[in-house]
Amino acid sequence: MPRKRRDATNVFSSAVDTAGAIHQQDQLAETKAQQDRGRRSLLALKQIRQRETDTRPLRPNHVQELAESIAALGLIEPLVIDNQNVLLAGGHRLAAITHLKTHQPQHFAEHFADDLVPVRIMPFDAGADPEKALQVELAENEKRVNYSRDQIEKLASRLRSLNYKETRGRPKKGEKALGPALAVAIGVSTRYVRKVLGEEKAESTSKNRNSDPIFCRRQLLRKMERALQELEALRETRQGYEANQSLDEQLPEWLIQVQMSLEELQDMGG
């Protein structure tokens, strides 16, 4: 075989091997990425093992609020465990689920059939890799603000159907406040929830008003009224061109017509 042809064959063979190696590497990276994202599954409550140390002590009030939220909406964010079933993140959620099982067994059975709890399993042993365990815990403990407005509105609708009310300040005795309950459920501040729901309401109101022809007509007439008044103020300063003189003569009548139309709309409640 001539030397040049043998060299070309070797180059082609080497390129094929390199492409194969790159493809295999991509597949391994994709597999690892999927493992890192965690595998969602169900696990019996009694099989979930508590971690030995907690960076945050449990707050009884928060546990109580979470239990009420889970009773109404279910567990929105699954617990995070390692491959030995040791809890990595979700200490308050686990305590709330346990609280629910003890104090509201009917709601527990409704959301956790056969005692099975949604979990996300991370592919490592927290005992062997405590640094990674801490990273997961800290990442999960950060405020979660990645819910879309549609998702938040749907959750709010479910709470409204359960007699949760949008109230300001401290709720009255026996009253269920929607904002704080939703904030606890998705791990954000009450202020953030109210801001999102307030935007939805303002957008809806604005849309309804702008689709009302009487409202739109009144807005346009007000703009015309302001423009005519400004033109009136300029009458003394304008030069005496013929076109301007004609306009000046008609301005008062136009302004009266606009103001009469506005009063008529006002009487109609527009």
* Structure tokens belonging to residue 22: 């790159």
Segment 116-137 mean pLDDT: 88
User: Angle CA(245)–CA(250)–CA(254) in degrees, nearest 5?
Assistant: 145
> What is the pLDDT at residue 218?
82
- Which backbone phi and psi does 168 adopt, to 5 degrees? -100, 145
> What is the pLDDT at residue 133?
85
> What is the pLDDT at residue 259?
83
Say if residue 216's pLDDT is above 90: no
Segment 54-77 mean pLDDT: 86
Distance (Å, whole) CA 45 – CA 172: 35
Contacts of 76 (CB under 8 A, 6+ apart): 155, 185, 186
> What is the pLDDT at residue 129?
87
Hey, which of 4-18, 65-79, 204-218 has the most confident mean pLDDT?
65-79
**Residue with token string 């929105």:** 76
Say if residue 120's pLDDT is above 80: yes
Tell me what percent of the residues of the chain surpass a pLDDT of 90.
Answer: 20
Residue 93 confidence class, pLDDT cut points 50, 70, 90: very high
* Structure tokens belonging to residue 97: 């689920």
Give the pTM.
Answer: 0.54
Encoded amino acid at 15, one letter: A
* Structure tokens belonging to residue 136: 């997961």
Question: Please, are residues 93 and 66 in contact by the beta-carbon 8 Å criterion?
Answer: yes
User: Tens of pLDDT along 180-212?
Assistant: 888 887 877 888 888 888 866 666 666 566 677
Say if residue 41's pLDDT is above 60: yes
Rg over CA atoms, the chain: 33
Encoded amino acid at 140, one letter: E
Distance (Å, whole) CA 54 – CA 58: 9
Count Cβ atoms within 10 A of the Cβ of residue 262 and give its class: 0-12 exposed, 13-18 middle, 19 or more buried: middle
Distance (Å, whole) CA 49 – CA 188: 27
Say if residue 228's pLDDT is above 90: no
Distance (Å, whole) CA 45 – CA 101: 10
> What is the pLDDT at residue 179?
84
Distance (Å, whole) CA 3 – CA 150: 68
Q: Which has the minimum average pLDDT: 59-63, 160-164, 245-249, 266-270? A: 266-270
Q: Which has the minimum average pLDDT: 45-49, 55-59, 142-146, 245-249? A: 142-146
Distance (Å, whole) CA 83 – CA 100: 26
* Structure tokens belonging to residue 243: 């076109």
Segment 27-55 mean pLDDT: 74
Of residues 78, 81, 79, 85, the one with CA closest to residue 47: 85
Residue 80 confidence class, pLDDT cut points 50, 70, 90: very high
> What is the pLDDT at residue 200?
61
- Which backbone phi and psi does 98 adopt, to 5 degrees? -65, -40
Residue 144 confidence class, pLDDT cut points 50, 70, 90: low
Contacts of 99 (CB under 8 A, 6+ apart): 63, 64, 67
> What is the pLDDT at residue 37?
55
Helix ranges (DSSP H) in the chain:
3-37, 60-73, 91-103, 105-111, 130-141, 149-161, 178-186, 190-210, 213-233, 242-267
